[in-house]
Structure 1
Amino acid sequence: MNAHRTSRRRFLGQASCSAVSSIPLLNTLLNLRLAGSIASAAPPVASEYRAIVCLFLSGGNDSFNMLSPYSGPSSTHDDSRTEYVNSRGDLALDLEDLHRIHPTNTGVRTFGVHPSMPNLAARFEAGDAAFVANVGTLIEPVFSRAEVIAASKRLPLGLYSHSDQIEQWQTSVPQSRTGVGWAGRMMDLIKGINPGQAVSMNISIDGSNVFQSGITGAEYAVNAGYGDGSGGGATPLTGYKAGYDPDRPFDNTASTAVDSMLAQQYSHLLQETFQKKRREAQQAYEMYAAATAPDLPATATFTNDNPLSRQLKQVAKAIMGRNGLQAARQTFFVQRGGWDHHSETLSLQEAMLGEVDQAIGEFWQALVALGIQDQVVLFTASDFGRTLTSNARGSDHAWGGNHFVMGGSVVGKKIYGQYPSLALNPESGNDLNPLDTGRGRLIPTTSCDEYFAELALWLGVPPSSLPLVLPNVGNFFTPAATGPLGFLA
């Protein structure tokens, strides 16, 4: 017993100190089915349920217009609004169009939410939402442009690259490329909390993704449905229908054949494995379809011609069906692409942020109708922020950006992390803003690890196992001793 405790402490110490080595160690332990001795997640009390929803804005959202200064000083200017206008040029939003918000933790400073996002602003002012400022991929803290130029700090692979940064936001491993996501590693560790295992703890409404891919499993992908309101939900085996339908003789024949195949026992390992997967897929479909068959409450309405609303409707249905799915913990993945606005940012963002705001407003109303708003947290992610400077009325790829979280358990009406100075460095001479690496590409002041750690701990990952989910987290805080940002209660 003492030897076991010693080896476990040694392992956890190595995991928190060595980001590179922890992933292969985790893979080995999981493949040996020893993860239970590491992730000592306490079982939830009866009927307790928690879920996180990742809203991925792929393409790189220009988030310093989603959340911009309204009044008060910055660290480099006595009027942060003037500084914002000077740096953004023709990308600056008009002050009178913004939804003014009053964070309780920023002193005299106030901020403005994008004109197309009244629902987000309202949720913030009501205390059900918060912003996390200037988040980005980091291996270790980076404090200045001088450190970047001198290469004195390890930097993420492929900075400013869509493919690399999307992967890194979904894996939280910026120093190497991997197909295993942080929600996948989280699932590997705590999925035993769920009484049922037929349907994955991780559910995607936008196909396969790295975020939810683990060592022992992957996401369960469902369909968002169509603009006319049809479709949506789990996808069955093609041509298969359980039971007998006198109006579908061909499907009856095909289904009988499939049932016969699934009932067979095979001596060939590959054949048996293939059929086992088909049996599991059919079992998962039947469970998911039954659990999500009931209609949502009448007050939970979603807009069919908004693709993101359709995705979040399916999330709401899966949450409503959590008991049928035997799920105490879940993650969901939804996505809205098209944020790579190298031109016409203002007009494009006006429409797209409006879609996002409409969808999250409808989702919040659905959670309230289900009485589950305190047990679900929606958070945003994106490839990167964008340059403060204009590029023909657009903006280019950058680094740090702003994000929001929404849910009844969010300690809201606050901006977490450090909202940075938006000053631009001069082309020559001393730096005015140490975070500006050029053209308003801002070094993140909050790491993805700090952002994600809050969500992972809330979902049930023990602090001692957090380095297995987020290998670099020990470079930013000590999980067993101190908490991350504090935006979840």
Structure 2
Amino acid sequence: MNRRRFLGQASCSAVSAIPVLNTLLNLRLASSIANAAPPGPGEYRALVCLFLSGGNDSFNMLSPFSGPSSTHGNSRTEYENSRGNLALPLAGLHEIHPLNTPGRTFAVHPSMPKLAARFEAGDAAFVANVGTLIEPVFNRTEVANASKRLPLGLYSHSDQIEQWQTSVPQSRSGVGWGGRMMDLIKDINPSQLVSMNISMDGSNVFQSGITGAEYAVKPSSSATEGGAQALAGYAANYGSSPFTNVASHAVDSMLARQYGHLLQETFQQKRRDSQEAYAIYAEATSGTLPGDVKFRLVNNEVEDTDANRLGQQLHQVAKAIMGRNTIGALRQTFFVNLGGWDHHSETLSQQEGMLKDVDDAIGAFWNQLVLLGIQDQVTLFTASDFGRTLTSNDRGSDHAWGGNHFIMGGSVDGRKIFGQYPSLALNPEIGSELNALDTGRGRMIPTTSCDEYFGELALWLGVPPSSLHLVLPNVGNFFSPGATGPLGFFG
């Protein structure tokens, strides 16, 4: 297994085995379940988390194009000076014109024309310089002197992946903020057999709660395959094969058995629920999606490459959304993952291809949502381990802290950059400080916390403002929940 595949597939799932150490938080949440107000008839909403595991170099995904920064009269020149051989040439960039950055324009990576088009159309926005924080940190002196509480394992893949998925950077936990949302609001859904949280990438911390976990399914490898995996050798209606009939009868007999012991009967009920959930999900996703949207699917004879894999995952998300009524869901979260972003070398060439994969996949997903007529009820957002150094290590960039992310959906207050896009000036090794946020080599202190970013999403999904602290325990350090979100990207 190569490094790219390891980071892409192992890291996001392996962290779910980390012991749950924050017991007090979990007990408080379990004893304080607060249901959201029931939605109106058919008022469906879904969040899609697109995790870019490995640490995306996001200051090339969204870079300055024109106008001044807070420390330089020409932000593009400042960017080029700081990035050196990692700076993208001006030619080929997609200039975007945010409505809330007067006097400045920005650029989306050349490989992402579909994202740039969605931004300019008002269906997407960026959130600048987001990262894990326990409390606000304003300058590198506070970091150097440890006068503020800092996240555990800063710059570590495993720690930062976990913290982006739990939003509890002061301790290690196996309960994610998506799981805590599920604990709070899952009863909105008429049916509970298929989890509110559905993963296209196996086990993950983000969707793991106290009262349940994600429902993991297989991404589509063709227009008709993928989805929930059947019990091998079992057919609900039996079949023509004598072996299948015998095996299926044995399974039915086992599931019909009653136990007097509470633990045995509880486990037995889980088996029955699992079989019923499979039947429901399989029926819900058996139909064909409208239109002829190209998700770059492959058949079983073609290598399952990363480029195709993201399209497969989002294709399966679209099928689950189409089947939401059969599943019995008014609120859902989905987890998809694309790994391989740890570009310590060949950053420009590797990112060029991988961002194109992302752009193609989200472009197809948006087109499918439009055909389903549900683009206003679904929001896709990105997450990643961390940003990367502005400076080059001669061939690539290294682990850093704050980074840029995008959100896409018809309910998003688009064509804006939320949060504070930082100065990209580098502090000299000797001499006066130019940029309080640069802790060295262009490792940027986040100006927007994960809690603010996630709080906006949680409130939109239906978490009551009074219960937001149960989902995001540190949110009160950055924001007092009220009628509007912390950043305002849902208007």
TM range (shorter): over 0.9
1:392 counterpart residue number:
394
2:379 counterpart residue number:
377
1:243 counterpart residue number:
237
2:178 counterpart residue number:
183
* Deviations 1:376-407, CA, capped at 9 Å, x for gaps: 00000000000000112200000000000000
How far 1:25 moved relative to its partner?
5.2
Alignment partners' CA distance in 1, 2:483 and 2:43: 26
Preserved contact between residue 299 and residue 365 of structure 1 (Cα < 8 Å): no
Preserved contact between residue 35 and residue 187 of structure 2 (Cα < 8 Å): no
Preserved contact between residue 224 and residue 288 of structure 2 (Cα < 8 Å): no
AA partner of residue 99 (structure 2): T
Matched, 1:100 2:85: no
Matched, 1:125 2:127: no
Q: What are the within-5 Å matches in structure 2 for residues 73-92 of structure 1?
A: 73-92=68-87
- Compared CA separation, residues 149 and 29, structure 1 to 2 (3 A): closer
Residue of 247, 259, 277 corresponding to 1:284: 277
Residue of 64, 78, 83 corresponding to 1:69: 64
How far 1:119 moved relative to its partner?
0.3
1:156 counterpart residue number:
151
* Deviations 1:18-51, CA, capped at 9 Å, x for gaps: xxxx96455335655x52xxx2411000011000
How far 1:467 moved relative to its partner?
0.2
Q: What are the within-5 Å matches in structure 2 for residues 216-295 of structure 1?
A: 216-226=211-221, 231-246=225-240, 248-295=241-288
Matched, 1:344 2:346: yes
Preserved contact between residue 290 and residue 372 of structure 2 (Cα < 8 Å): yes
Structure-2-length-normalised TM-score: 0.92
Structure-1-length-normalised TM-score: 0.92
Unaligned runs of 5+ in 2: 1-20, 299-307
Alignment partners' CA distance in 1, 2:201 and 2:276: 21
1:459 counterpart residue number:
461
Unaligned runs of 5+ in 1: 1-21
Preserved contact between residue 132 and residue 167 of structure 2 (Cα < 8 Å): yes
Preserved contact between residue 139 and residue 436 of structure 2 (Cα < 8 Å): yes
Q: Secondary structure at the match of 2:267?
A: helix
- Compared CA separation, residues 401 and 278, structure 1 to 2 (3 A): same
Alignment partners' CA distance in 1, 2:366 and 2:342: 27
Alignment partners' CA distance in 2, 1:249 and 1:371: 45
How far 1:243 moved relative to its partner?
0.7
Alignment partners' CA distance in 2, 1:481 and 1:365: 32
Preserved contact between residue 308 and residue 334 of structure 1 (Cα < 8 Å): yes
- Compared CA separation, residues 30 and 256, structure 1 to 2 (3 A): farther
1:437 counterpart residue number:
439
CA RMSD of aligned residues (A): 1.4
2:304 counterpart residue number:
none
Aligned structure 1 segments of 4 or more residues deviating by more than 6 angstroms:
none
Preserved contact between residue 342 and residue 392 of structure 1 (Cα < 8 Å): no
AA partner of residue 277 (structure 1): K
AA partner of residue 285 (structure 1): Y
Q: Secondary structure at the match of 1:147?
A: helix
How far 1:272 moved relative to its partner?
2.2
AA partner of residue 309 (structure 1): G
Q: What are the within-5 Å matches in structure 2 for residues 191-206 of structure 1?
A: 191-206=186-201
Preserved contact between residue 191 and residue 329 of structure 1 (Cα < 8 Å): yes
1:213 counterpart residue number:
208
Preserved contact between residue 300 and residue 369 of structure 1 (Cα < 8 Å): no
* Deviations 1:128-155, CA, capped at 9 Å, x for gaps: 0000000000000000001101111000
Q: What are the within-5 Å matches in structure 2 for residues 444-483 of structure 1?
A: 444-480=446-482, 483=485
Alignment partners' CA distance in 2, 1:468 and 1:31: 9
Alignment partners' CA distance in 2, 1:240 and 1:274: 20
